[in-house]
Amino acid sequence: MRFLVSRTSWLAPALVLVARLTFPDELSLFAAQPGAVDPKDLPKFAPVPARDALNTFQLRKGFRLELVAAEPLITDPIAFAFDEDGRLFVVEMNDFPDPGGPRLGQIRRLEDTDGDGRFDKSTVFAKDLRWPSAIHCHAGGILVGAAPDLIFYQDTDGDGVADQKQVVLTGWGNRAGTPNPEGVFGSLNWGIDNRIHGLVNLCPGVISNSTNPAAKPVTLGGNFAIDARSMTLTVEAGEGQYGLGFNDDGRPFLCRQHRHIMTQLFDRRYADRNTFYAMPSPTVDIAVEGPKAALYRISPEEPWRVLRTKWRVEGLEEGIEAGGRASGYFSAACGLTIYFAYLVETKEGDSYNGIIVNETAGSVTVRQPLGLEVSVARSQMAKMQASRLSLMPEGLEEGLSNQDLADLVDFIFADLP
């Protein structure tokens, strides 16, 4: 796995889930009601240089981390998206958490110009944004979420800087209270229904279509989906905070601050069939260990976090204190990834790529493309690792023309309803 490093990095998406480190509470401690705090009692940990960051991670066997970008190429990354040319567009929320300061948020475009697997060129693609939080590559440009707007940026002259800007949807947060940088909308993801899906969190609003004045405003209090061709927005069921993914069947998986794995039991359209019946919440926790699950951090606890927990236990400050624990549980889950396939290699050199359909103490069964299943004894396994590779045979497209690929797609979808 490759990752970006910065002084306040949000690693999204992550292997499965990661806890995001944010520090608004650290700042608020000095103005908190419980009493004055001497800054000397709240020392900060020195930042780890990018060249040494890899050595601070402990990885499960079979996984690998690679450093692909760090300061000064990027600062404060919170979300990113690849375009069709392999360029990486990174959201930088440099103005976090100040709501009244200058608009420092921006989008950087990273490029690997020498093909060594590391980005070496950085361009400020768009700037002057307040709390940018979402990004999705679309139609030769990018969609950027920065409440209250969803903005389309495009570079038409090829200089790496957006020269076209259009607000396509607006209204996020106009029904909310005090703006909250941890309550903005985000997690834009392409679904198998050919729509862009996203999470609202604490940013409800009446959304209007800036490109179509005739379109009716949509009152949005939960998740949403956008038809990218018409920018038509529809309300979806459930709620999430930051982190959204889909499995092969299109089922969404999402997370919140303390609820690290959730899913939706039904779509909004089913609840809308009978307006006289109040449906239960479609969002349910599915983690075996439940919400606020245990984490086993290897770094020391921050002094500000220990003090904040003490205040919460004593009732001097509102917030979740998790039984007096300053850490050791999910407190800022912000991303998840669904793995589609596994790679199993044997000691004899055989490789099998597919879905794990059965696991026992003695063997693993892999279902490969076309439904062929192979069982491999654990004693004969050299490696098993998760992969997001397509289940289509690797390299198939190299021997096909554009028309051959089009015919293949037509064949695959020929029997679908």
Interatomic CA distance for residues 184 and 172, integer angstroms: 8
Mean pLDDT by 10 residues, the chain (417 residues): 42 33 43 70 88 89 82 93 93 86 92 92 96 93 94 95 96 79 85 90 88 89 88 86 81 86 85 85 84 85 90 84 82 79 88 82 80 88 73 60 77 57
Q: What token pair was written down for 113?
A: 């110009």
Beta bridge partners of 264: 283
DSSP three-state, residue 41: helix
> What does the DSSP assignment read for 212-227?
-TTSPPEEESS-EEEE
- Pairing assessment for the beta strands 283-285 and 373-377 based on DSSP bridges: unpaired
Which pLDDT does position 272 carry in this prediction? Answer: 82
Q: Which of 256, 185, 191, 265 is CA-nearest to residue 226?
A: 191
CATH entry, 341-413, from 3.40.1190.10, 3.10.20.310, 2.30.30.100, 3.30.160.250: 2.30.30.100
Which DSSP letter does residue 300 get?
P
Determine the pLDDT at residue 14: 31
pLDDT of residue 216: 93
User: What is the full DSSP assignment across 274-297?
Assistant: -TTS-PPPSEEE--TT-SS-B---
Backbone angles phi, psi at 33, to 5 degrees: -70, -30
**Entry pTM:** 0.75
Paired strand residues for 331: none
- Domains of the chain: which residue ranges? 2-324, 341-413
And the tokens for 357? 């359909």
pLDDT at 396: 62
Query: What is the distance between the alpha carbons of residues 358 and 292, in angstroms, rounded to a whole number?
Result: 29
Q: pLDDT at position 397, please?
A: 62
**What pLDDT is stored for residue 291 in this prediction?**
79
What span, in angstroms and rounded, lies between the C-alpha atoms of 105 and 60? Answer: 34
Which pLDDT belongs to residue 206?
A: 93
Alpha-helical (H) ranges within 18-160 are 24-28, 50-53
pLDDT of residue 395: 58
Q: Which residue do the tokens 């379109």 mark?
A: 215
Helix (H) or strand (E) holding 304: helix 303-313
Specify the amino acid at residue 221: G
pLDDT value of residue 331: 83
